[in-house]
Chains A and B, each alone.
Chain A
Amino acid sequence: MTPFANEPLLELRRAEVRERALAALGDLDARLPLRVPISIGGERIDAAPFPSLDPSDPERIVAVAEGATPEHVEVAVARAAAGGAAWAARGAAERAGVLRAAAAILRERRLELAALAVRECAKPWPEADADVCEAIDFLEYYARGAVALEVGPELLQLPGERNRMTYAPRGVVAVIAPWNFPLAIAAGMTVAALATGNAVVLKPAEQAPACAAAVVDALHAAGVPGDALALLPGGDVPGRALAAHPGVHAIAFTGSNAVGLEILAAAARPAPGQRHLKRVVAEMGGKNCILVDADADLDEAVPAIVKSAFGFAGQKCSAASRVLVHEDVADALLERLAGAVETLRVGPADDFATDVPPVIDAESRERVERYVALGAEQGTVAARAEGTAGGYYAAPAVVTDLPPDSPLITEEIFGPVVVVERVASMEEACAAATASGFALTAGLFSRSPATVDAVARALTVGNLYVNREITGAMVGRQPFGGNGLSGTGAKAGGPDYLLQFVDARVVTENTVRHGLVV
């Protein structure tokens, strides 16, 4: 196998590439709505249909998916338990071949898949394309990682004993995926489990069934057996039933804190008859801060804050929601940031001229508006971009002068809102940033090596970005995952991630016979 390299992004700055992307969108639109059945054991099953809408234009139905019930969960887990062994028996190299074949299918269909993310989740083109590339990256990276893992680590060997350590699949893995990286995260969690020999039951986000189905279709087409990978579209009901099922050995979850904590609590208590402890890989929320010291280059900091806070309407786990700025440069930063935010264009995701797309659904829009209204009450709305009508649009906002206990400072908004707070020093900024308990990403703008070191020591975040935007982690380059209340600390796209999906087994043989070492 060639060494891993990230899938090249589309060069969308070239007009001819943009034209090809729009042509693919036209082809997709002609096929809408897509059908997304339940898939168990390779069979496609219809149940209770529900629509998946285009957030840029909710009149457009992107897909009609079949909602799974707890009965479907029963069948899917049973089939996975029975059929998973054959998949595990194939060995890492053969599985890797299948997964890389799936990557090739995604590569072949990349424009169509990006168009689907544009439509189903209102991801703007560059981010939709990055989502496809990240899905391909996860396939290629974990396929290679599982082959390396199968060899097992070296142990000390003394005369008279032979020690071996191997990693066995855990069994059935429940994957509960979010809508904000509808291709990449669904693919990443699923493939990490498959590469290491587990069987997977995937429950995608209710808002993004078609994207997840595209990933599952590619995996099945490439040779992952139907029993080793099931797809259960739907909302909380199948999600809860799946996480609670005693036949599930591990749960990979990305989503909100509330749901993540619920899963962790439930998983801690074995059901009657359950003969294993469930492992939970949870990637949850954040309240991510960008620290700006007095020696920062504001020419760099302002565009990076805008990109981090408002790219994909602030709906990334890694998005910036607080700016902690040194008081010496706070006025200049706030004025320039406010002016920059006022230039942002809110519009449909398929328009290359759009800076900020709609949020995912009406509930999200209302939540954002509630927080902005509260911000106006408790502090000052320093800037608000112009909104637009038609979809679930929430205009970007910069809020400042808030009391430290304001919900805008303590709670995850998951939308295009950023709070600016003044601090007297970076020590104060680090204390304020760590107080929330969230520890996913953070950013620092400073040109002092000592400050960079001090902040890197003081912050407990999983990913700290210095003098750049804080979103856009790349597989193999920026392993991604949070600490504290933000997650269980597994680093997706990193060298340790696959260990979450295996049980280590050590075999020690005594090689002494009749007092002789043989």
Chain B
Amino acid sequence: MAALATPAPPSEAPADPPDVRAVGRELVRAMPRLSRSPAAVAERRMMATLMERPELRAALFRFVDVRPACRTRADVARHLAELLAEADPEGAARLAGGLASSRAGRLPVALAASAAVRHTATRFIVGEDPAGALREIERLWRRGVATSVDLLGEATVTEAEADAYAARCQEALRTLTAAAATWPARPKLERDAAGAIPRVNLSVKVSALTPLLRPYAPERGIAGARARLREILRAARELGAHVHVDVESLDTRDSVVGLTTSLLSEPEFADGPSAGIVLQAYLVDSPRHLDELLAWNAAQGRTTPLTIRLVKGAYWDHEVVEARRNGWAPPVFTERAECDRNFEALSRRLIDESPRVRAAIASHNVRSIAHAAAYADARGRDVELQILRGLGDDVQDALAATGRRVRCYCPVGDLVAGMAYLVRRLLENTSNDSFLGARAMGEDLDSLLEAP
């Protein structure tokens, strides 16, 4: 039932742009060497352990997930002990005489675990709030890395929560704009063939702007978030900032894209602000979705081009689980190579469309990044490369060092609010087919740069 009436992506990618390997090697040469510090070595060892021990990985993720809801140290210790015992009953039994059984012994372990969670979180989350994140954002700018700030938060289930998120977005735009005025010039990050690029870039989630997103009635979410997103766009226009609308699970995509395109079509936004949307390459119907976005872009007369951020997509498990539960064909590619090929095909189409749209290629996979960069070089087009904070810091530094336009997606928020995000990132980082994992395990460069 309801077969996906979508064209399959090319099963064989056309010949590589000539310089993919060259660009890839250049990036890898420019990467900082793997750190030999004891902490970095210990972290790599932990990642390797987690990849080999799925039950331990599950226990640790569950601990990270529940940690913010624990009110006391004893509560932290109890949850940690229970989760470890569930993951590894024998290990817990071995420890029975020591740490795990006595309350006095458990507390230091819990404290250390809490500290580790907090420390890990700071790798992925740049600050508790926009003001607190400014130092790191400016540091990145000075090193040739632009940013997009994403405000983490609890799920929005009430109108009051939606209002609070919208107010945080407005405040973030003002705080970041005031600070950005003092930054030094970085021409590569501030202008491309299509014109000026705003220094301040805010990513916005429509699911946080309304409690009314309904998969069966997109018009309710659109109506619910409309006024709040309009105010954010107005503020961005006034401040000269960029607003990027994130796309989340497929259940809400029609609402999110429908809202964004309909607002941007309004006459008041014809001359700004700079705005963008996301295309998820893991979706089987993403080529058709790009057709629709390009058709819309061609039909409206905005003076700043739409930015399309191409990502693989962060809700793969959710989409597959939901589809299986309901008996549907999964809406996502289930083979990684298929997804990677589609990502590259969409990259080429976006770069071909530039500068009618701005192409932003977001990945921490060196092959995907090198492919987009080499293709843009070959076509003489502009492309922006985007990296998730904490997942591709080395690639990001190498891109800046080799003179490419790179933007870091920077989540901002407190630890409690950021936990759901953090858990997703951690899962990604230690999944068996992760590029980062492969690199940490020492897989050789040429095989990582091969066409998918």
Residues of A bordering B, CB below 8 Å: 5-18, 125-126, 294-299, 302-303, 306, 328, 335-336, 338-340, 342-343, 345, 351-353, 355, 447-450
Q: Which residues of B contact A339 (CB under 8 A)?
A: 157-161, 211
Cβ contact within 8 Å between A449 and B82: yes
Q: Which residue of A lies closest to B249 (CB)?
A: A13
Q: Assess whether A7 is in contact with B157, with CB atoms less than 8 Å apart.
A: no
B181 CB within 8 Å of chain A: no
Least distance between B2 CB and chain A CB atoms (Å): 4
Give the residues in chain A near B62, CB-CB below 8 Å.
447
The CA of A303 and the CA of B328, in the complex, are separated in Å by 23
Cβ contact within 8 Å between A295 and B328? no
Which of B65, B157, B251 contacts A13, CB < 8 Å? B251
Which chain B residues border A343 with CB–CB below 8 Å? 157-159, 211-212
Would you call B82 and A448 a contact (CB within 8 A)? yes
Collect the chain B residues with CB atoms within 8 Å of residue A336's CB.
157-158, 161
Task: Given contacts A13-B250, A306-B157, list 6 more A-B pairs with CB under 8 A.
Answer: A13-B254, A295-B75, A339-B157, A343-B211, A355-B214, A448-B66
B211 close to A125 (CB less than 8 A): no
The complex places the Cα of A342 from the Cα of B420 at a distance, in Å, of 26
Q: Within the complex, what minimum Cβ distance (angstroms) separates B92 from chain A?
A: 12
A470 CB, min distance to chain B CBs, angstroms: 16
Q: B327 an interface residue at 8 Å Cβ cutoff?
A: yes
Q: Which residues of chain B have C-beta atoms less than 8 A from A294's C-beta?
A: 69, 71
SS of B interface (majority): helix
**Known contacts being A340-B211, A449-B82, is A10 close to B157, with CB within 8 Å?**
no
Q: Which residues of A contact B66 (CB under 8 A)?
A: 295, 447-448
Known: A295-B75, A299-B155. A15 touches B83 (CB 8 A): no
Report the Cα distance A317→B62, complex, angstroms.
32
Instruction: Pick the residue among A13, A15, A340, A447 that contacts B69 (CB under 8 A).
Output: A447
List 11 A–B pairs whose Cβ atoms lie within 8 Å, in order of A's numbering. A5-B327, A9-B327, A11-B328, A295-B69, A303-B155, A335-B158, A339-B158, A345-B220, A353-B214, A447-B65, A447-B69
Distance in angstroms between the alpha carbons of A306 and B211 in the assembled complex? 12
Contact B78 A448 (CB under 8 A): yes
Whether a CB of chain A sits under 8 angstroms from the CB of B26 is: no
CA distance A320 to B65 in the complex (A): 26
Residues on A with C-beta less than 8 A from B82 are: 448-450
CB-CB under 8 A from B116, the residues of chain A are none
Whether A295 contacts B159 in the complex (CB less than 8 A), given A12-B216, A448-B78, comes out as: no
Contact of A295 among B70, B212, B251, B327 (CB under 8 A): B70
B86 within 8 A of A: yes
Q: Is the CB of B157 within 8 A of A342?
A: no
A109 CB → nearest B CB, Å: 14
Known pairs A11-B1, A125-B216; A303 contacts B159 (CB<8 A): no
Select from chain B the residue with minimum beta-carbon distance to A14. B2
- How far, in Å, is A4 (CB) from chain B's closest CB? 12
A450 to B157, CA, bound (A): 29
- List A contacts of B85 (CB < 8 A): 449
Residues facing A in B46-71 (CB within 8 A) are 62, 65-66, 69-71
Decide: B157 and A303 in contact? CB cutoff 8 A: yes
B70 to nearest A CB, angstroms?
7
Of B78, B79, B254, B326, which one neighbours A9 at CB under 8 angstroms? B326
Which B157-189 residues have C-beta < 8 A from chain A? 157-161
B271 within 8 A of A: no
Bound form: Cα–Cα A328–B70 in Å: 11
Compute how far the CA of A60 lies from the CA of B269 in the bound complex, rounded to whole angstroms.
Answer: 46
Q: Does any Cβ of A come within 8 Å of B8's Cβ?
A: no
Alpha-carbon separation in the docked complex, A328 to B72 (Å): 12
On chain A, the residues within 8 Å of B70 by CB distance are 295
A17 to B69, CA, bound (A): 40
Q: Is B154 an interface residue (CB 8 A)?
A: yes
State the CA gap A6–B161 with chains docked (Å).
38
> Which A-chain residue is minimally distant from B1 (CB atoms)?
A8
Residues in chain B near residue A12, CB distance under 8 A: 215-216
Residues of A within 8 A of B19 (CB): none
Which 6 A-B residue pairs are closest in the complex by CB-CB distance? Answer: A339-B158, A8-B327, A353-B217, A299-B155, A447-B66, A13-B215
Q: Is B192 an interface residue (CB 8 A)?
A: no
In the complex, what residues of A have CB within 8 A of residue B155's CB? 299, 302-303
Whether a CB of chain A sits under 8 angstroms from the CB of B219 is: yes
Q: Is the CB of B71 within 8 A of A8?
A: no
Question: Which residue of chain A is the closest to B254 with respect to CB atoms?
Answer: A15
If A8-B1, A12-B215, A297-B69 touch, does A353 touch B220 (CB 8 Å cutoff)? yes
**Contact partners of A340 in chain B: CB under 8 A:** 157-158, 211
| Minimal beta-carbon separation of A468 from chain B (angstroms) | 11
Is A11's CB under 8 angstroms from B326's CB?
yes
Q: Do B1 and A449 have beta carbons less than 8 Å apart?
A: no
Contacts of B69 in A (CB 8 A): 294-297, 447
**Which residues of chain A come closer than 8 Å to B160, judged between CB atoms?**
339
The 8 Å CB contact of B154, one of A16, A299, A338, is A299
- Give the complex CA separation of A7 and B157 in angstroms: 31
| A299 vs B156: C-alpha distance when bound (angstroms) | 8
B419 and chain A: residue at smallest CB distance? A297
Contacts of A5 in B (CB 8 A): 327
CA distance A338 to B158 in the complex (A): 8
Which residue from A14, A125, A449 sits with its C-beta under 8 Å from B83?
Answer: A449
Which residues of chain B from 218 to 234 have a CB within 8 Å of any chain A CB?
218-220
With a CB–CB cut-off of 8 A, which chain B residues contact A15?
218, 254
Q: How far is the CA of A5 from the CA of B344 in the complex (A)?
A: 37
Q: Is the CB of B65 within 8 A of A8?
A: no
Q: CA of A34 to CA of B419 in the docked complex: distance in angstroms?
A: 54
Instruction: Check if A342 sits within 8 Å of B159, measured CB to CB.
Output: yes
CB closest residue in chain B, given A13: B215
Shortest Cβ distance from residue A188 to the other chain B in the assembled complex, whole angstroms: 19
Given contacts A11-B326, A340-B211, A343-B211, contact A17 B158 (CB under 8 A): no
Q: Give the chain A neighbours of B65 by CB distance below 8 A.
A: 297, 447
Closest to A298 in B: B154
Cβ–Cβ < 8 Å partners of B159 in chain A: 339, 342-343
Per the bound structure, the CA–CA distance linking A10 and B78 in Å amounts to: 43
Residue of A nearest to B86 (CB): A449
Task: Tell me the complex Cα distance, A389–B251, Å.
Answer: 30
Residues of B1-36 at the interface with A, using a CB-CB cut-off of 8 Å, are: 1-2
Neighbouring B residues of A295 by C-beta, 8 Å = 66, 69-70, 75, 79
Distance in angstroms from A451 CB to nearest chain B CB is 9
Residue from A15, A17, A343 whose CB has the most chain B CB atoms within 10 Å: A343
| Bound Cα distance A87, B122 (Å) | 70
The 0/1 profile, CB within 8 Å of A marked 1, for residues 129-161 of chain B is 000000000000000000000000011011111
Q: A13-B215, A296-B69, A449-B82 known; A8 and B326 CB under 8 Å?
A: yes
A14 to B154, CA, bound (A): 27
Contact of A6 with B157 in the complex, beta carbons under 8 Å = no
User: Which residue of the partner chain A has the closest CB to B417?
Assistant: A299
Q: How far is the CA of A343 from the CA of B160 in the complex (A)?
A: 11
Q: Is the CB of A447 within 8 A of B326?
A: no
Q: Could you say which of B217, B327, B328, B420 contacts A299, with CB atoms under 8 Å apart? A: B420
Residues of B near A306 (CB, < 8 A) are 157
Report B-chain residues with C-beta under 8 Å of the C-beta of A353. 214, 216-217, 219-220
CA distance A294 to B70 in the complex (A): 8
